[in-house]
Structures are given as structure tokens and as C-alpha cells.
Structure 1
Amino acid sequence: MPAAKGGSSKGGLTLWLPGLRAWPGEALGEILPRYWGRGRRERLPAANLLDLAARLWNFPAGPLPAAALLAAADGVAVNGRWVIALEAMQIQPRQGQAVVLPMPAETLQVEEMDTLLGAARAHFAGADWEIVGGGPSGRWYVLAQSVPDLQSTPIYAVLGREPLDLMPKGGDAPYWNGIFNELQMLLTAHPVNQRREAEGLEPLRFFWAWGEGRLPDIRPAARWQGLVSPNPWLRALAAWVGVPLLHGLGALPEAELETFWAEAGELLWEWPADWRLEETAPAFAGIVPVLHAAFAAGAAVQLWSGIMSDGMAECVRLRRGDRWRFWRRAAQPGKGAASVGQW
């Protein structure tokens, strides 16, 4: 475990709750509002989670270039180019709408993926940009030297929703949306996908374009000495800036937690559970020993929300003494920013 910078014996924990995106009333349980009421609250504007992540990681203003980070993690030679990710998906009818869903666990064979990618690269060979494959991830990327005027909707905000109103926007959107539509038609007509459909298998023909941007020339100095997260683009970011990936802190024996925090540096723990679900609050109660141990070791603790419906995120900063301030009233994250259940 890396030690804190400057030889300090006290680390810090930032617990990021991106699934906390509104004031969901009783679904919060009792524990989270108790913490939220004891610390110092701050509200911060953020367009989306990528924008908030850029702030957490000291990136230049604007959304995090998730596609370029994922491409670098997949071994793609980005070389300063603008990148947008093409995430394989399916579109299925749900309650009278066509919604975006993840691809099923069963994936295409490597030979099929290579064949489809080769067809796409050959079809667009004359363009001033290129399509490349990301290897085992199954993700494709578009790389360009110039930076288009294009703003996409991140894939996590699209799943389960009707896609038409969420297509990329901006001055260059008509061109790029036309390209993505052309790619879909090319893949739909390809013999690999026609054969798969005939066999009752899911074809690879729909992609969602997202995460556009280019990597900064200078890698920002991250404050973190460790990351806990299941999120692919956060893990790719950690790899790019050289931050070690850690296992879930909740798996540590309680007897070892205080020693852990006495030796740890600044850690970021992303806990992505959706706070609209009834099981989230009891699950959060299970990681409270981690917070108690961090306080006991003198570590500073921060709790960050996701993006509320008013375009703001909330941060609560707590110090060791704050956990004993029982007289402070519990506070609902996002209260006043949205009606109960409005996500």
C-alpha cells in the first residue's frame, strides 16, 4: 500500500456515490443522512459524471476524455488524437419504445469481430479519420486529428432509454450521425451478421458513440494513491495517471481497518449503487466500518454525490470529530434541488 505523500501518517478517503442523483426520500435509510448532516456541505455545478470526474482528478475544465482513456488502456496508439468510443449495444422494444440495452454476455468470436472491423475500415478508408478496434474489450474507436464540434451522451446515461433524443449534438453532429448510421447499415448487411441472425444470435450492428475528447499533453498530478472502482473508464484513468487499483475496502477485516488508514494515502472509492433501490441503504450500512476506521485513524473523509436533477453535485467534508456530533440534524442529499423521486 503506498504511503501518503509528504510522509504523513494520515490518509484521506473520498467516497464517491454516483448513483445518488436526487433526494429519494426513505430510500436513503438512516445512515447516509446522518453523515450528510454532520459535515460541511458544498454544492458544485457539473454537466455530467464525466465533468465531475474531471474535477476530482484535476483534469482541465470540461468532461473527462473517457474514450481516449479507454483506448489507451486497450493498447490503442492515441498519439494526441481526438477519440470517440463506439460501444456495442442492442436496441430492443420495451413498453412501446425502442431502448438501448447492453450487448448480451454471449459475444462474437474474435474472427467475426476482426472481419466486421476490417469491413468498416475498408469502407471508410478514404476519410481523414480512422476506426480501430480495442481488442478484448470489444470496443471500437474513431480517431481524428482535428477536434469536431460534437457533444455526446455518455453510455451510462443512455442504457434503458429511447436513443433518438440522445444522439450526439453540435455543429458537426449531422456529419457524424450520418457516419454512424452508415456504419450501422454496412454492418447490418454484412454476411457475418446475416448468418448470425439466421442462427438466432445477436448481430453486432449498433454502436453508441460517446466519451469524445483528447488526452491532455501533460498528465495531471493526481491526489489519489489508490482507486477502488468497477468502472472501466475510471480504471482506465487510474492506469493512465499511474494510480494503483485496489480491491473493495469493505472486504478488509474490521480489525485491520484502522491500521490500513494509518498507512494509506489519499484514496478514491467509487461506490456506484443506485440509491433508488431498496437494497442500497442496507448495503451502505455494511461499509460504515470503513468510514469509522478512517475517522479513528484521523483521516479526512469526503462524500460526493452524483449529478442532481438541477445540474449540481454535493460534497460533504467530515473530520474525525464530526462523527461524534450527534446533535446535528440528519440532512437529505439534494433536498430542495428536486422533488422526492425526481431523477
Structure 2
Amino acid sequence: MPTVNPPVKSPMSLHFVISYADWPDSDQCRFITTGLDLPAAALLCGRGERLPAHKQTVEAWLAGRFGMAHLPSAALTLGLDQPAAKAGFWLRADPVHLKIERDGLLLFDAHHFQIAQAEADALVAGLNSVFGEDGMLFVAATPTRWYLRLPADPQLVWTSLDAAIGRDINTLLPKGKDALQWHRLLNEIQMYLYTHAVNDKRSDAQTINSLWLWGGSDYPVLETPVVPGLPVYADDLLLRGLMHIGGADVQPLPASAAALPDGDALVMLDHLRLGACYGNAHDWREGWLALEKNWFAPLLADLKSGKRKSLAITFPELGLALQTDRSLRWKIWQKPKFPWDFAPG
């Protein structure tokens, strides 16, 4: 029987979830955000009522919101990419480029290179010819989303791709009883990819010289997520996967709050993701400016005009959740405040 968890109540009817709002170094954050003009965001946050929250990854937040013990990441996206996939233990095995730099062996995902489906298929066919006899099955569902089916769950702890990109991988490799065996396997995979004909035709900066294994989980997912009883707008694949196995759909994210229909909704905004993951301060700042222009400013105008009565905003990585309504117009004693200036929940 599927496991059904109790529903998790959303703090408000119109709820915005903004991931990767936390810049890990506070001194750098102060420098990076100097002169950043976010008047609507600061007013919405500064005059909002704080709700209980604690610092967590957006993946952990999603698991809690949907009533699941943990997020079965590989299985969630596999259900979208290959719904007829064979049951078993699956990993994401995404193609990456590893580069030796001063800070170590840094990982770059597919945002830093291009790969065609034909190239992905050729690389995966080669991997299956070498490692298939060990019961492994590699699948290139898309050029950039690959999977690996294993004979059994190796009981390891995997690091998500988002937590690895732009970072030295040496401390992020699989952990657990048989971790060293898997480190050796990754080395063998890297050696094979290095000599593959596909990589012979690619520049050194564009070689697919490793895979990143993460999100290990059983497919199909036996837990039934508790989906929100309201429209959901997002581009996030994990959220789409949760809604899919819960029997509901995700609406495409509109370009701005002005294009968002009236009424209740859960909206996930990931404008800050790549800047935060790669430690790119310019892109992170640009993400905030896009959020201000397209989301915070229109939402503030809607609250002031009465078009919208209330809204909630959650920043999972900051441990910050707020709700506000039209009364913010009169709370002149509450000063505007940036999200990163709040003490963690």
C-alpha cells in the first residue's frame, strides 16, 4: 500500500517560494548587495509578519510541503522523462565537465556546454557496453538528464547536482560503507569517457569527462505526495515530478506577477539558482533585479490597490517565511528590510 502522509498546510493562499536567496558568506553578501535597488522587495519583507521557518534546502522544503520524508529526486524526474522505466533503484547520472583549477577539481554542469542527443546516446551506449555486465543500465532520457539503474540500493549518501556545481567535488563524492568502491567506479567511468570518440571531436573545455550521480531513489515512488489544492506555477522539474505522481499538473511560470491569474496559487521562482550555485555574484544580483521588476513590484502594487488581499513569501535557504496584506500601507513604523538581513529562523 502507498504511504500517505498528512497534509501540510500552506501559510497563505497566494504563496511564493524563492530559492537560493542565501549567499553563504555574510561579508561577501554585504559587499555584493551594496547599491542593490529592491524597494518593493524590502517593503514587502520589512512590513510582513514573520512565520515559523528554519534554514533548509529547497529540496527539503518541497519534501516537507508535500508530506514526504525525503525527496526521491531521480525517481521524480524519471517519472516525467521515462514513465515506462523498469522498476528498481535509479540515480540521476548527469553528464558534467570536471576542470582542474586552483580551488580543486571543479564541476560544471550542462549550462556550461552543449551536447546533442546523438552524442548523449553514443556515450551512454558505450557506458552500457562496458558496465552493463555488472547489472548497470545507463539511459540518456534527454541530452542533459541521464539516469543509472542499479541492481540494488547501495545505501550511500549522494550530493545533489546543485550542491556540487561550481565546487570542488572531492568532499562531495558518495558517502557510506562502500563509498570507496563507488569512487573507483567513477574513476573508471571518467577514464572511459576520456577516450570516447564523442569527446575526441569536442574541445577540451567541452568534453563530457564525468557523470554526477545523485538523487538515488526507488522507482516508481510508493509514497503519495500531498499536492496543494490550488494551482501551482513553476519551471522546477522536481516540483513538476511531485505534482505528476500526485495526479496534478504544474502550470508554466508566467513572465511576471502581472500575468498571474487572480486567486490562490503556489508559485516557485528560481531566478537566483545559477548565480548562487556557481558563486557568480553578477548573475545573483541580476536575479534579484529581475525578481524586483517582474514580481515584487507588481505584487506590492496589487496589494496597495486591493487587487490582491494577501500573500506569503518563503525563502527556504534563509529560514525566512513572511506573510503580508494590505495593512502594510499603514505600517510606516516598520522599516523596509532585505531578506538576507533577517536573523535565521
Residues 1:213 and 2:217 aligned together: yes
- 2:114 aligned residue: 106
Secondary structure of the corresponding residue to residue 307 of structure 1:
helix
Residues 1:53 and 2:59 aligned together: no
2:187 to 176, 181, 190: 181
1:208, distance to aligned residue in structure 2 (A): 1.1
- 1:149 aligned residue: 155
- 2:292 aligned residue: 285
* Structure-to-structure mapping, 1:157-236, within 5 angstroms: 157-193=163-199, 195-196=200-201, 202-214=206-218, 216-223=221-228, 225-236=230-241
Alignment RMSD:
3.1
2: CA distance between counterparts of 1:49 and 1:282?
21
* Structure-to-structure mapping, 1:1-343, within 5 angstroms: 12-22=13-23, 24-25=29-30, 26-27=33-34, 29-56=38-65, 58-62=66-70, 64-78=71-85, 81-95=88-102, 97-103=104-110, 104-108=112-116, 110=118, 112-128=119-135, 130-144=136-150, 146-193=152-199, 195-196=200-201, 202-214=206-218, 216-223=221-228, 225-241=230-246, 242-250=248-256, 252=258, 260-261=261-262, 264-273=263-272, 277-286=284-293, 287=295, 288-293=297-302, 296-308=306-318, 313-335=319-341, 337=343
2: CA distance between counterparts of 1:137 and 1:322?
47
1:251, distance to aligned residue in structure 2 (A): 6.6
2: CA distance between counterparts of 1:208 and 1:43?
35
Given that 2:116 and 2:143 are in contact with CA atoms closer than 8 Å, whether structure 1 keeps it comes out as no
TM-score (norm 1): 0.77
Distance change in 2, residues 1:180/1:96 (3 Å): closer
2: CA distance between counterparts of 1:149 and 1:322?
50
Secondary structure of the corresponding residue to residue 215 of structure 2:
strand
2: CA distance between counterparts of 1:284 and 1:55?
25
Secondary structure of the corresponding residue to residue 61 of structure 1:
coil
1: CA distance between counterparts of 2:341 and 2:139?
44
Instruction: Name stretches of at least 5 consecutive residues in structure 1 with no aligned partner.
Output: 1-10, 339-343
Count of paired positions: 311
Q: Which moved more, 1:112-121 or 1:292-301?
A: 292-301
Secondary structure of the corresponding residue to residue 316 of structure 1:
strand
Instruction: Name stretches of at least 5 consecutive residues in structure 2 with no aligned partner.
Output: 1-11
Secondary structure of the corresponding residue to residue 289 of structure 1:
helix
2: CA distance between counterparts of 1:48 and 1:148?
24
The letter of the residue matching 1:16 is V
TM-score (norm 2): 0.76
Given that 2:56 and 2:316 are in contact with CA atoms closer than 8 Å, whether structure 1 keeps it comes out as no
